Amino acid sequence: MIEVNFQIKPERCWAQKLSQEFPDITMTVFSIHQEKGLSRWECDSPLHLHAALERAKADDTIVSLDVFSQDKNEIVAQSVCRCENRYKVHDILSRGGCYYLLPNPIVTFKGAKHYRILAPDSDKLKNVMEMLQNMGDVKITAVHPLEHVDDSFFINIVELKGLLSLKQLRTLKKAYMRGYFEIPKRVRIKDLADELGLSPATVYEQMAEAENRIIASIIDYL
């Protein structure tokens, strides 16, 4: 079995278009029921969140967009759309013998929709990727062969997230989104500190502690 992360830019998708216009917003789908999707929108800019919400409501493919909860940096919304691609990824995965991996298999940010799936073998994965190319630009971002059934997709994400404080989680997300963990790094600790309103020493300490807790919880699976 193979755990795979891939991103796709489906044509005429309202969420993908919104993400291109507001690349600093992360939209995570955490529940789907028939035609309704429940998602969490996160952003450090309340103005961007409000503008993105209004832009989405005005999109021609949106049937309804209802806000369930909202604060300064987060919106939880239920959407119904008539986008021509709304079920295509699901159908392609089903026909190709691949599966969503929960929780949060669909995350939209930086102008693309990111999926986490399980493929039984490389042939089925190749077939699914070829079918997805008909929807838009597709790119595999990570591949993890799974040798045992207790490998990474069975790690309890809720417990893993619970190991971190809200401040650590916020700093870690900001660092990841801004490219701190890329090679070469796209942002410095000082820049992150300025954006978060913290000292560089505090940012470094929060990330180091978060990394240590995460690694300690998964090291036995590696």
CATH number at residue 214: 1.10.10
Q: For residue 50, name the pLDDT band (cuts at 50, 70, 90).
A: very high
**Pair 134, 164 in one domain:** no
Task: Enumerate the β-bridge partners of residue 116.
Answer: 5
**Pair 138, 159 in one domain:** no
Total of domains in the chain: 2
Q: For residue 218, name the pLDDT band (cuts at 50, 70, 90).
A: confident
**Boundary of a domain, candidates 91, 121, 145:** 145
- Look at residue 153 and tell me whether its pLDDT is greater than 60: no
Residue whose C-alpha is closest to residue 77's, from 54, 44, 109: 54
Would 150 be classed as within a structural domain?
no
Residue whose C-alpha is closest to residue 213's, from 165, 150, 152, 151: 165
Q: For residue 51, name the pLDDT band (cuts at 50, 70, 90).
A: very high
Per-residue pLDDT at 38: 87
Cα dihedral sign, 7-12-16-19: positive
Averaged pLDDT for residues 162-190? 89
Could you list the residue range(s) of the whole structural domain that residue 210 is in? 155-221
